[in-house]
């Protein structure tokens, strides 16, 4: 899909295939070192999830936003670990419906809600969230800095942002998709108004991705979701050294908690 920007219909089909594919989730859970009960996941490792949880510094009963939440598993797990309330937003109605079902199973009634929205138009009121997480999706903002400005709008003064993504090792490398070339978190987070910006490379997370892609390619192509994972794995391994894995944290303007 290099050069293409997947739309909501593409992701609706993608998430629809996933719901019937425990084999896909099993491949990812093993490679990412995630708890076996944590289904419906992406490419954030178990230790990475623990880092995101810690860096958000959520108060019990505080409000966590998970923007571009997909099927909701990571945000649900952070809310479960911290006692926070959760609102998840994704532009795929299919993903949102699945997230509602998963949230109802894993969190007490009334602790989570999920709604359709985009990175640039969440439909949520400003200044309400204690923390905001965005896992591997800020590159879909057009441009990514506009998504970061929306995140700043949503957070309370002193609220915390935690996001994971990829950046180009060399922005001049033609193998890097344009949407990844547009990501420059060290530059754009301060421009969006954030303070205390820290962007860390996570090579161990990146190596876990390699293990995942290799495991996917070695697995039987048993269903559409596994075959989709395999196709993504082939593309990713062809250009693997062109991207670096990053984890960024920042604070919304105002007094820190």
Task: Please list the helix, strand and coil fractions of the chain in percent, rounded to the nearest 5, in that order.
Answer: 45, 20, 35
Count of Cβ atoms closer than 10 Å to residue 42 Cβ: 14
The tokens for 143 are 């441009």
Does the bond joining 169 to the residue before it have cis omega, within 30 degrees of 0? no
| 18 secondary structure, DSSP code | H
pLDDT at residue 12, rounded to an integer: 54
pLDDT reported for residue 53: 98
The label of the residue with tokens 């998963």 reads 102
Q: Could you tell me the pLDDT band of residue 8, with boundaries at 50, 70 and 90? A: low
Distances (CA, A) of 256 to 116, 131, 148, 192, 222: 30, 12, 19, 17, 49
Mean of pLDDT values over 167-191: 96
Q: Please say if the pLDDT value at position 255 is more than 70.
A: no
- Neighbouring-strand partners of residue 199: 248
Q: What is the pLDDT of residue 221?
A: 75
Provide the token pair at 45.
Answer: 């490792």
pLDDT value, residue 225: 85
Any bridge partners for residue 113, and if so which? 87
Model-level pTM?
0.91
Q: For the segment 105-154, what is each residue's pLDDT rounded down to a tens digit? A: 999 999 999 999 999 999 999 999 999 999 999 999 999 999 999 999 99
Mean pLDDT over residues 1-10, rounded? 50
Q: What is the pLDDT of residue 242?
A: 98
Q: How far apart are CA 246 and CA 127, in angstroms?
A: 26
Q: For residue 166, what pLDDT is reported?
A: 98
Chain segment 42-52, per-residue pLDDT in tens: 899 999 999 99
pLDDT score of 15? 58
Q: Which of 23-27, 95-99, 188-192, 200-204 has the lowest mean pLDDT?
A: 23-27
For residue 122, give the DSSP letter: -
pLDDT of 84 strictly over 70: yes
How far is the C-alpha of 27 from the C-alpha of 34, rounded, in Å?
11
All residues at 6 or more sequence positions from 61 whose CB lies less than 8 Å from its CB, including other chains: 83, 84, 85
Q: What is the largest CA-CA distance in the chain?
A: 53
DSSP reduced 3-state for 202: coil
Average pLDDT, the chain: 91
pLDDT in tens, 194-253: 999 999 999 999 999 999 999 999 998 778 888 888 999 999 999 999 999 999 999 998
pLDDT at 168 over 60: yes
pLDDT at residue 17, as a whole number: 54
């Amino acid at each position: 899909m290099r050069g293409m920007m997947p739309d909501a219909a593409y992701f609706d089909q993608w998430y629809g295939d996933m719901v019937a594919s425990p084999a896909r989730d099993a491949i990812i859970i093993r490679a990412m070192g995630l708890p076996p009960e944590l289904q419906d996941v992406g490419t954030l490792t178990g230790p990475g999830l623990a880092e995101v949880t810690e860096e958000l510094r959520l108060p019990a009963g505080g409000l966590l936003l998970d923007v571009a939440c997909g099927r909701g598993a990571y945000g649900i797990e952070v809310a479960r670990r911290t006692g926070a309330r959760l609102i998840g937003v994704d532009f795929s109605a299919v993903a949102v419906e699945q997230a509602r079902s998963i949230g109802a199973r894993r969190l007490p009634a009334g602790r989570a809600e999920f709604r359709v929205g985009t990175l640039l138009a969440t439909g949520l009121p400003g200044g309400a969230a204690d923390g905001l997480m965005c896992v591997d999706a800020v590159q879909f903002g057009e441009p990514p800095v506009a998504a970061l400005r929306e995140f700043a709008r949503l957070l309370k003064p002193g609220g915390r942002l935690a996001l994971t993504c990829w950046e180009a090792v060399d922005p001049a490398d033609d193998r890097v998709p344009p949407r990844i070339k547009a990501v420059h978190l060290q530059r754009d987070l301060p421009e969006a108004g954030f303070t205390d910006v820290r962007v860390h490379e996570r090579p161990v997370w990146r190596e876990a991705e390699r293990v995942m892609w290799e495991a996917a390619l070695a697995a039987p192509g048993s269903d559409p979701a596994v075959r989709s994972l395999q196709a993504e794995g082939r593309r990713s391994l062809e250009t693997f050294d062109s991207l670096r894995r990053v984890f960024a944290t920042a604070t919304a303007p105002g007094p820190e908690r």
